[in-house]
Structure 1
């Protein structure tokens, strides 16, 4: 299945690029694929920088997971000092 998904996405990109359409479909920029217990959830948590998925014996992630990340720049030193003063 992994190779089929990748081939399908590549075919979509090729088909749309030949007609001059760029990004016609909102496809994910990162896809994590692997067998059970291969560390897919850990990869996503490391990208985000936070633990947000359930953990424990018998707990599994069996649903597609879509993360929408918003890049918020770190506050400057002046902004940080200002927020601490309030």
Structure 2
């Protein structure tokens, strides 16, 4: 498992740091007060985008492969104790 900072992930994905903060579909983890990225998760996320949508995959194979983030989209909030109303 290779942890990446936001600057390293931005360079790896060729996106700006601001875009990484705003996009909630990019897999990330919180390490204390920092946002970190796992390189293997980012590569898997890119693979899912490259291969197309999951629904086409279900139709072709008859089963769903595991996605990077199967949970509903999360709301990024500065307070780590914040729970959105949709998650309650």
Q: TM-score range by the shorter chain?
A: under 0.3
Flag the structure with more relative contact order, 1 or 2, with Cα contacts below 8 A and sequence separation at least 6.
2
The structure with more strand, counted as a fraction of residues: 2
TM-score, structure 2 length as denominator? Answer: 0.27
TM-score, structure 1 length as denominator? Answer: 0.27
